[in-house]
Structure 1
Amino acid sequence: MRRLLLERLAARAYRHGSFTLASGRTSPHYVNCKPVSLSGEGLALLGALLLELVEAQAAAVAGLTLGADPLVSAVAMRSALDGRALEALIVRKQAKGHGTGAWLEGPLPAAGSTITVLEDVVTTGGSSLQAVHQLRDAGYQVNRVVAIVDRQEGGLEAMTAAGLELRSLFQLEEVAACRAAMAESAR
């Protein structure tokens, strides 16, 4: 399953060129996991593989909208199919402007519960840390961030500084190498 997901990411999510990232930095690598994470096959693969990295004691998975929305849903569904109770939470980028003004959407576990944060791509770790801060402020324990791809551009260091463990399915170099190999074999 891991190899199949890597091939899907290399073919559908990775591009080589000149790109400006959300951090403002430029990079020859661009990774947008949504063409994979919003496909049925991609969701099935991601649900199974990400679930393997979720903490055993976690009551929920959560992530910052929009990149994490399909991930938390896929993992919660896969966990239900496996007979494990695991809720899915979406962390808003800003508080809801009406009603309760909530930052979190979904079935909230008991205060103090452990929640694993899911992320599609980690660069500097800013999006993941925003989700972690909202969850911690709401009274939850967050010890781990699980990503599809770590771009290896400071995210690990930022997570470590925040007392978090970063686990990734792939490093950027793996995805780039797979894409290069696919291009070479197509010649």
Structure 2
Amino acid sequence: MPVNSDPSMDRQVLLERLAREAYRHGQFTLASGRSSEHYVNCKPVALSGSGLALLSPAMLALVEKDAVAVGGLTLGADPLVSGVAMAAAQKGRDLNALIVRKQAKGHGTGAWLEGPLPQVGALVTVLEDVVTTGGSSIQAVNQLRQAGYSVQRVITIVDREEGGQHAMDEAGLQLVSLFRLSEVAARARELQQ
């Protein structure tokens, strides 16, 4: 489905895609070890061409104007940072993608970060697919800050509304989400009727 010129229309299409393809209701154990009746896996949407075409401009619109790169923890953020960097290039904006490894590369340079590295002190926005407790986002932020970059904002597709906002506040970060879990779950219920 092509991306429309009306962003509010794209938002509704994206919400429906997430409700159909990313959301499940049942009994699940999350990465945090917690049990939940809601499961959200954005990869089926983010790894489809049409899904990434919807997500990328929506996330780009939330990236700080002064940011020179977007970064995120592998694997969930990999398509997002690439898609947002490409959407920026299509608009004539110079914005690169950085992938933050979960552990340093075990060979070669031993790098934690992959991509065209900006100058030390540059502003980088972190992208995430789903925020639950905020742990993986904060891991990415910490690696970027240790490398000398400024990080002030985390943008996520879905905020599960389970403590991520509090963790971001504690870390001095602004959490911006395209959707809240309650919105995605409500839309999924509507689609089942």
Q: What is the TM-score when the length of structure 1 is the normalising length?
A: 0.98
Aligned to 1:149, the other structure's residue is in SS state strand
Aligned to 1:148, the other structure's residue is in SS state strand
How far apart in 2 are the matches of 1:3 and 1:160? Answer: 29
Are 1:117 and 2:152 counterparts? no
Corresponding residue of 1:128: 137
Q: CA deviation at 1:110?
A: 0.6
Given candidates 16, 30, 51, the residue that maps to 1:7 is 16
Corresponding residue of 2:6: none
Aligned to 1:111, the other structure's residue is in SS state coil
Are 1:38 and 2:47 counterparts? yes
Corresponding residue of 1:151: 160
After superposition, give the CA deviation of every residue in 1:93-112 in whole Å (9 maximum; x if it has no partner).
00000111000000001100
Are 1:141 and 2:150 counterparts? yes
Given candidates 14, 18, 24, the residue that maps to 2:27 is 18
Matching residue's letter, 1:158: A
Corresponding residue of 2:172: 163
Corresponding residue of 2:70: 61
Corresponding residue of 1:106: 115
Corresponding residue of 1:87: 96
After superposition, give the CA deviation of every residue in 1:12-68 in whole Å (9 maximum; x if it has no partner).
000000000001000000000000000001110011100011000000000000000
How far apart in 2 are the matches of 1:168 and 1:35? Answer: 18
After superposition, give the CA deviation of every residue in 1:112-151 in whole Å (9 maximum; x if it has no partner).
0000000000000000000000000000000000000000
How far apart in 2 are the matches of 1:180 and 1:139? Answer: 45
How far apart in 2 are the matches of 1:50 and 1:7? Answer: 17
Using the aligned pairs only, state the percent identity: 71
Corresponding residue of 1:27: 36
Aligned to 2:187, the other structure's residue is in SS state helix
